[in-house]
Amino acid sequence: MHYLLFYEVGEDYIARRAEFRNAHLEMAWKASERGELLLAGALDNPATPHCCCSRATRLMSPKSLPGRTLMSRTGS
């Protein structure tokens, strides 16, 4: 099963993304190594909606998808 997740970023995304970038990339690389995250990124420029294509071997809740960012986990 594959998931295509679209999400929008908050108004302060550009100002705050640097503080989360390394941890966010580490999560993405690990999900990619596990074969869960196939593709991810901004659709146009960093402030536009983002998209993640994920693969799941079992039924997963949206909260457990690899596309879930560190910023959403921290409540930002």
pTM greater than 0.75: no
Non-local (6+) Cβ contacts of 18 within 8 A are: none
Number of domains within the chain: 1
pLDDT digits 0-9 by tens, 2-17 = 878 888 888 888 888 8
pLDDT at 52: 80
pLDDT digits 0-9 by tens, 20-55 = 889 888 888 888 898 888 888 888 887 778 888 877
pLDDT at 71: 46
pLDDT at 43: 81
Non-local (6+) Cβ contacts of 60 within 8 A are: 3
